[in-house]
A and B are shown apart, each in its own frame.
Chain A
């Protein structure tokens, strides 16, 4: 079982859809998965049961992909639901914040 309580992951996805301004409903399924319906694609997110490396399985329109962490889940879901999405990569400033 993934170490993240599914409730927290579900709540994150519930909040993510309006934050990204994409349509869809996030629901808990009876078998413990998180399901996104009414969106551009059908998405199902299962907590991985035994793999220590990959904690989530994301199924988008029937195609399964592992995700290492919730950060990876979010990225896969956003890419599926928000076609115009282009991820920004963090840049670290070269100038210091304070002089020491």
Chain B
């Protein structure tokens, strides 16, 4: 196992939803001291970084534009510079990076940059995506702002903020969050205070216990609240029969080809017919996919393949039909090849 990979987590959430307040509290905690922070501010005068007390050498503000569209190369360069300073001992040592996005940022392109940029490949790995939701205006924001829906949909953790102003979260807000992303645990921050451990152990790999949380990461059993008329939908495809590797490859390739940006996120654990004892964990953001991670064992007795989809306007029935048709074609070719070989 490589222990030198630095997990990078993303802290996102709509404008004014309390990201900086949470970060400011976290950075005062001892357990959070070995954390480097990148704050992306979008505007002429950046204020967020003034609100965060952190040592200057582990804190960087990116202000030249929005991370998700204009300065993706800057992000990779910034991460690379941070790692170099760490290697040379020119900054406080850190073993985690948190990126606070601007309130208008789409997290998907940021995830893609972290997954594909050659300058940081081999040094970092994805942590989780944490999304803040303001309980005062959150329900309205989710109705009016597409980007806030995406921020919630791709989250591994959702944090409710401003409960001190509004009391407990309104049922309408909780329902909407469950519709957009029933899989992500919903946590609460008390005036910005929240346990960093449960916040940033949101990725597939938990560096604190050095193990994988596949079931918690997939959370497919919680994803039953999807509203089927909504633009953003979450659903799970479950198959008991093992899946041929080539079927999975063609399926993912075709999904990426036809869905592109509408495939917000895909997570899964797959029983591959050629390797039934070692499940493959798959993960994709839009058309970018990680190479499968082969686990040593199944995390439970459940050996079904489970693939969770978080999509925008990609009907489940189409995904199911695509999977069935490709599977049948691959199976047919295999039978035909054997028949011809026998002849």
Contact = CB atoms under 8 A, between A and B. Distances in A.
Contacts of B260: 86, 88
A71 B333 CA distance: 14
Contacts of A89: 256-257, 287
A85 B292 CA distance: 28
A96 B329 contact: no
Contacts of B174: none
B202 interface: no
Contacts of B335: 3
B293 interface: yes
Interface string A9-47: 101101110111100000000000000000000000000
Nearest to B212: A98
A59 interface: no
B126 A97 contact: yes
Interface string B105-122: 000000010111110111
B288 A93 contact: yes
Most chain B CB within 10 A, of A2, A92, A93, A96, is at: A93
Interface residues of A, number: 38
Given A91-B288, A94-B118, A95-B115, A5 B293 contact: no
Given A3-B335, A88-B257, A93-B289, A8 B116 contact: no
Interface string B58-71: 00000000000000
* Number of chain B interface residues as a range: 35 or more
B154 to A, nearest CB: 15
Contacts of B317: 15
Main secondary structure of the interface of A (DSSP, over half): loop
A2 to B, nearest CB: 7
B15 interface: no
A80 interface: no
A70 B115 contact: no
Contacts of B1: 99-100
A86 B259 CA distance: 10
A75 interface: yes
Interface in B223-256: 250, 252-254, 256
Contact of A98 (B115, B116, B281, B333): B281
Contacts of B165: none
B321 A11 contact: yes
A89 to B, nearest CB: 7
B326 A71 contact: yes
A100 B318 contact: no
Interface string B306-343: 00000001110110111011101101110110001000
A71 B253 contact: yes
B340 A52 contact: yes
B318 A90 contact: no
24 contacts: A3-B328, A3-B335, A4-B325, A4-B328, A12-B322, A12-B324, A18-B315, A21-B313, A52-B336, A52-B340, A71-B254, A74-B258, A88-B258, A88-B286, A89-B256, A93-B289, A93-B291, A95-B116, A96-B293, A97-B293, A98-B125, A98-B212, A99-B1, A100-B293
Interface of A: 2-5, 8-9, 11-12, 14-16, 18-21, 52, 55, 69-71, 74-75, 78, 86-100
